[in-house]
Chain A
Amino acid sequence: MYQSIRNSMEQSAVGFIPGKRGDNMFLGLDVGGTFTDGVVVADGKVVSMVKTPTTKENLLQCILTVVDKMVEDTGSKAFERIALSTTIVTNAIVEGNIDQVGLCIMPGPGMNLKDILPVAPYILSGYIDHRGREMAQPNKEEVLSACRHFSSCDVFVVSGKFAVRNPCFESAVTDWIQEQASPMHISAGGKVSGSLNFLRRTNSAYYNGAVWRHFNAFATAVEEALKMRGIYSPVFVLKADGGTLPLSVARNYPVEAIFTGPAASTIGIMGMNGDAAVSGISLDIGGTTTDIALWQKGRPVLAKEGAAVAGHRTGVQGFRLKSVGIGGDSLVFWENHVLKVGPMRHGPAMAAGGPKPTVTDAMVAAGFIDFGDRALAVKAMMLLALQGQSPEAMASQVIDKAVDGICQAIADLLDEQAAEPLYHVEEIVCETKFVLENIIGVGGGAAGLVPLVAKKLGISYTLPENGKVANAFGAAVARPTIAITLRADTAEGHYTVPELGIKNRLPRGNFSLQNTYELAEKHLAELAQRNSISVGETQIVQSEEFNMVRGFTTVGKIMTCRLQVKPGVLQYGEEELC
């Protein structure tokens, strides 16, 4: 349906008209696979909460249902902002609802990527080396013939090895394609992700291009519909790393909107948990899965590897999470005399009128939670019970199985974290093991299962109020973030900021790591302003400094610094727009 509004896309990019603001109301929406949740948070408190089935074939419908209800609840249309956590990009990819992309790469020497990328690329000559030096120029004729090769494509992707060290070739090729084919959109690898990893950047840029039209149509539909209802709040989209992007920016980087569900709940937990600086895990126990996140001193741990889509790793950064196929609605059954829990789901619990026994039925039968019809839950356990086994005994066997499954996944996640490679002697020698102190439980199944998991692990737990809508809460309060990578090479005398497509000369004289931070701050502020984000507090995500020695003298330094607007929870009253 929202394809029909596509024509008006250009005009709608205007953004919002400042209306009456100051109620400090943040509206968060989590468009999940089964339900769409919405909350309005004012002064840190949930003032409205709505749940409606997700209308898969027309997402706009459920979004508007929730928004309308919230306008009714709060009697206001003056939301500070509306933030969406949506599966639209993930689903589009999973369902193959993506566009054909003209994928042009400049791989230079190295691994043969021919059969590794999601689609067959057109290989262009020209390449940059690891220092950002231009080793061979790209060839315009080749680019023109690539355009002919991809004549049926409306979207192009350009990605070059080490483009993050020198974006010139990616820019040149982008310009040539623009001239020759004038496609609707061109994604460049270095702008989609500023980190090293040509493969992930190329995958990111590919998916970015492939979902671009679909996402933009959706974005336009959302903006139009809100406008028709007289709501002029700015719309943001959640990212996998828990930050948010203004919808107008997300239009160019839709791939950033993949895997936002778990990120939303993680940020939601952060918001609900306040400043408690404990280390541990959070469990978001839903109907079909349990999402586990790792926390260090009150902050979720970021994953070093990028999110994978359809088996291809991207440069999209996310939290270190593990998902296990055990939730409240997980099917419980016997297979070759072995009791199994999940990962499949056959409708709701029998206690709620479902067809088959579930984990929730066991919880109800065992008396851990009060939900639905207890008699039906007991019946469910009787269906499973072996000869002479009481339904209660069966229920506790099911619960043990589910708890064991979750504990195993927690152990796996901790193992993964411990196996993370380290590249400094100091880090290895002084490595401290991750210590679990606390579990924070959210989601529909948390009240029953989290205490049992905590008991088994011998640690404490907390169940935040409103934990059932942690996702939507997270979307509501997630702070807008943005990051840049600045790399200065004083021997070569230049620096690059790939996200901005910049390669500039360094100022003369001594240039220190401190100068690098300052320069990065400046460019981050610039990018933030362009994206209507308040910079506020920034943090250095990564920083590195190496001397370059030639012969036996130091000829320069290579300094890298990745700086970001600190992700986290919006402080109430925080000025979020420039």
Chain B
Amino acid sequence: MLNAQKLGLVFFPAFDWAISPTHPEREERLLYTRDQIVEEGLLDMPAIREYKPKIANLQDLERVHVGVPDITSLITNAHLVSAGGAIAAADAVMKKEVQRAFALVRPPGHHAMRIVHGTRGFCTINMEAIMVEYLRRTYGINKVAIVDTDVHHGDGTQDIFYHDPDTLFISFHQDGRTLYPGTGFTNEMGSPNALGTTVNIPLPPGTTDRGLHEVLDHLIMPILGDFKPDIIINSAGQDNHYSDPLANMAITAQGYARLADTLKADIAVLEGGYSIEDALPYINVGIVLAMAGMDYSKVIEPNIADCPSQTSSVTHYIKDVIKERQDMWGRKEKLQREAIMKHGEFWQTERSIYYDDVGINEQQKERVRLCPHCSGYVTIETKARSSLHYKTAYIGMIPQKACPVCLKAAYDVVHAAKKQGNYQHYMVQNKQKDRLERL
């Protein structure tokens, strides 16, 4: 379309929603951003068109998540509107009304995994993942790249797409040894059938614009060039900012704007960012301008002098990370063959997941069939314990492009488990039929 505007903006600050009154994820988190965007007059710019969020429905959610006992009892309306905001952004781009879109929405979602027992890292459902599967279902999109630029590892998004060879997930973040959630190391590369399509780039505390752009130019952009996705999604977390209270990085609003400019994501969805007064208004304006193809050179934080410069040890460390990840990307086919050889028919993992919001400890056993014809069905056995609850479930998951063998096998194993009766809930997430079944 000739007159398509540059940027569709879904701005949904959820001024009436908070995790709790003094939680960083509370009503006024986007208040100053709203003030800045409105005061700038950004919404009057011909390059920018504002959209209203939609309300995501249960099917949109269950295409991605399995809630235990169910997803609706774990979320609020705000989650549906935030996911619906991402969907509205996606629709605007797919209908070619705009070239790109930014869903500046809350609550965030990138720590929400496939199985949901509650809220972790401020997230309950994963907005990007819901949007990606909506795009696949509605518009038949196949290859998707998600670049997670939040300071925290996007462990939820990683989990959801870990077995999917058609979704490239790239996350750079402050090293998991120094920050929540403590994951996102370079050896987490995807399960054997999707090996290499998870790319983690842990960065040292104190990384500045310089280090970030080094990573972007020499690692992320070349990988995206190789993968050739149909669409690029940006999980646009803003807590790498030097003033963010939850992390220790040193990125500026200019650094973020230039990142958006280089990445040229089709759709960006807001994640974290908790320097709500000193950073968010400037970062968000910078990103909006960059995505709209406008001049962002004048967006500079008043307290820019507080931003530290990058030490030489950080610079060296980053160079090494880039080198290591480049090598791994280059050898991924070989690594994949080796992994498949090593694991035989099933790849499996056991892990514990902590839900910081209400103190739930979850034990998960995950198994994926290394099928030569499809990405393989998955089973997850989950047991979650808190002071109040003990919840268990046995879940089978069937990918959209599952082969007939995997399709049947998934039902068979869940039925067999039910016969044994060790769990409270038995479910099959059938992506081919686009529904979640309770057995």
Q: Are B55 and A196 in contact (CB under 8 A)?
A: no
Q: Are A546 and B27 in contact (CB under 8 A)?
A: yes
Q: Are A419 and B52 in contact (CB under 8 A)?
A: yes
Q: Are A313 and B11 in contact (CB under 8 A)?
A: no
Q: Are B39 and A130 in contact (CB under 8 A)?
A: yes
| A297 sits at the interface (CB 8 A) | no
| A199 sits at the interface (CB 8 A) | yes
Q: Are B52 and A420 in contact (CB under 8 A)?
A: yes
Residues of B within 8 A of A420 (CB): 52
Interface string of B19-33 (1 = CB under 8 A from A): 001100011100110
| B294 sits at the interface (CB 8 A) | yes
Q: Are A111 and B285 in contact (CB under 8 A)?
A: yes
- Picked from B21, B77, B299, B301, the residue with its CB within 8 Å of the CB of A554 is B21
CB distance from A316 to the nearest CB of B (A): 13
Residues of B within 8 A of A199 (CB): 40-41, 44
Q: Which B32-84 residues have C-beta < 8 A from chain A?
A: 32, 34-36, 38-42, 44-45, 50-53, 55, 76-78, 80-81
Q: Closest chain B residue to A202 by CB distance?
A: B41
| B134 sits at the interface (CB 8 A) | no
Give the number of A-B contacts (CB < 8 Å): 116
CB distance from A113 to the nearest CB of B (A): 8
Q: Are B28 and A548 in contact (CB under 8 A)?
A: yes
Q: Closest chain A residue to B20 by CB distance?
A: A552
Q: Are B52 and A111 in contact (CB under 8 A)?
A: no
Residues of B within 8 A of A74 (CB): none
| A334 sits at the interface (CB 8 A) | no
CB distance from A414 to the nearest CB of B (A): 14
| A129 sits at the interface (CB 8 A) | yes
Q: Are B22 and A196 in contact (CB under 8 A)?
A: no
Q: With A198-B40, A428-B81, A547-B28 given, is the CB distance from A109 to B301 under 8 Å? A: yes
CB distance from B279 to the nearest CB of A (A): 12
| B295 sits at the interface (CB 8 A) | yes
Q: With A546-B28, A547-B27 given, is the CB distance from A425 to B77 under 8 Å? A: yes
| A375 sits at the interface (CB 8 A) | no
Q: Are B15 and A424 in contact (CB under 8 A)?
A: yes
Residues of B within 8 A of A429 (CB): 55, 77, 80-81
Residues of A within 8 A of B27 (CB): 546-547
Report the separation of the CA atoms of residues A298 and B4 in the bound assembly, to the nearest whole angstrom.
37
Q: With A161-B39, A162-B39, A197-B38 given, is the CB distance from A130 to B281 under 8 Å? A: yes
Residues of B within 8 A of A197 (CB): 38-39, 41, 44
Q: With A196-B35, A425-B16, A554-B21 given, is the CB distance from A112 to B302 under 8 Å? A: no
Interface string of A385-425 (1 = CB under 8 A from B): 00000000000000000000000000000000001111111
Q: Closest chain B residue to A552 by CB distance?
A: B22
| B297 sits at the interface (CB 8 A) | yes
Q: Closest chain A residue to B294 by CB distance?
A: A111
Q: Are B35 and A110 in contact (CB under 8 A)?
A: no
Residues of B within 8 A of A131 (CB): 32, 277
Interface size class of B (residues with CB under 8 A): 35 or more
| B12 sits at the interface (CB 8 A) | yes
| A578 sits at the interface (CB 8 A) | no
Q: With A421-B11, A428-B53, A547-B27 given, is the CB distance from A111 to B22 under 8 Å? A: no
Q: Closest chain B residue to A114 by CB distance?
A: B295
Q: Which interface residue of A130, A136, A422, A548 has the most chain B CB atoms within 10 A?
A: A130
Residues of A within 8 A of B38 (CB): 196-197
- Picked from A200, A423, A544, A552, the residue with its CB within 8 Å of the CB of B41 is A200
Q: Are A547 and B297 in contact (CB under 8 A)?
A: no
Q: With A428-B53, A428-B81, A548-B28 given, is the CB distance from A423 to B44 under 8 Å? A: no
Q: Closest chain A residue to B277 by CB distance?
A: A131
CB distance from B60 to the nearest CB of A (A): 15
Q: Which interface residue of B35, B45, B297 has the most chain A CB atoms within 10 A?
A: B35
Q: Which interface residue of A107, A109, A305, A554 has the most chain B CB atoms within 10 A?
A: A109
Q: Closest chain A residue to B80 by CB distance?
A: A429
Residues of B within 8 A of A110 (CB): 36, 39-40, 285, 298-299
Q: Closest chain A residue to B292 by CB distance?
A: A111
| A537 sits at the interface (CB 8 A) | no
CB distance from A127 to the nearest CB of B (A): 8
Q: Which A286-310 residues have C-beta < 8 A from chain B?
A: 305
| A426 sits at the interface (CB 8 A) | yes
| B17 sits at the interface (CB 8 A) | yes
Q: Are A424 and B16 in contact (CB under 8 A)?
A: yes
Q: Which B268-284 residues have C-beta < 8 A from chain A?
A: 277, 281-282
Report the separation of the CA atoms of residues A111 and B293 in the bound assembly, to the nearest whole angstrom.
12
Residues of B within 8 A of A514 (CB): none
Q: With A109-B299, A110-B40, A428-B81 given, is the CB distance from A130 to B12 under 8 Å? A: no
CB distance from B385 to the nearest CB of A (A): 27
Interface string of A533-569 (1 = CB under 8 A from B): 0000000000010111100111000100000000000
| A17 sits at the interface (CB 8 A) | no
Q: Closest chain B residue to A198 by CB distance?
A: B39
Q: Which A152-185 residues have C-beta < 8 A from chain B?
A: 161-162
Report the separation of the CA atoms of residues A548 and B32 in the bound assembly, to the nearest whole angstrom.
11
| A14 sits at the interface (CB 8 A) | no
Q: Which A97-115 residues have C-beta < 8 A from chain B?
A: 107, 109-112
Residues of A within 8 A of B285 (CB): 110-111
| B14 sits at the interface (CB 8 A) | yes
Q: Which interface residue of B14, B40, B76, B77 has the most chain A CB atoms within 10 A?
A: B40
- Picked from A136, A200, A554, A558, the residue with its CB within 8 Å of the CB of B22 is A554
Q: Closest chain A residue to B34 by CB distance?
A: A423
| B289 sits at the interface (CB 8 A) | yes
Report the separation of the CA atoms of residues A553 and B24 in the bound assembly, to the nearest whole angstrom.
11
CB distance from A98 to the nearest CB of B (A): 21
Residues of B within 8 A of A554 (CB): 21-22
Report the separation of the CA atoms of residues A419 and B27 in the bound assembly, to the nearest whole angstrom.
23
Q: Closest chain A residue to B298 by CB distance?
A: A112
Q: Are A423 and B15 in contact (CB under 8 A)?
A: yes
Q: Are B298 and A109 in contact (CB under 8 A)?
A: yes
| A135 sits at the interface (CB 8 A) | yes
Residues of B within 8 A of A558 (CB): 28, 31
Q: Are A421 and B50 in contact (CB under 8 A)?
A: yes
Report the separation of the CA atoms of residues A198 and B44 in the bound assembly, to the nearest whole angstrom.
11
Residues of B within 8 A of A162 (CB): 39
Q: Closest chain A residue to B28 by CB distance?
A: A546
| B300 sits at the interface (CB 8 A) | yes
CB distance from B347 to the nearest CB of A (A): 40
Q: Are A313 and B44 in contact (CB under 8 A)?
A: yes
Report the separation of the CA atoms of residues A198 and B45 in the bound assembly, to the nearest whole angstrom.
13
CB distance from B277 to the nearest CB of A (A): 7
Residues of A within 8 A of B32 (CB): 130-131
Report the separation of the CA atoms of residues A197 and B38 in the bound assembly, to the nearest whole angstrom.
5
Report the separation of the CA atoms of residues A199 and B277 in the bound assembly, to the nearest whole angstrom.
22
List of 3 A-B pairs having minimum Cβ-Cβ separation, nearest first: A199-B41, A112-B295, A546-B28
Q: A425-B77, A428-B53, A428-B55 are in contact. List 8 more A-B contacts (CB 8 A).
A: A109-B302, A111-B42, A130-B32, A196-B35, A198-B41, A423-B13, A553-B22, A558-B31
- Give 16 pairs: A residue, B residue, CB < 8 Å, sorted on A: A109-B302, A111-B40, A111-B294, A112-B294, A112-B295, A196-B39, A198-B41, A305-B44, A419-B52, A423-B11, A423-B13, A425-B17, A425-B78, A428-B12, A428-B53, A428-B81
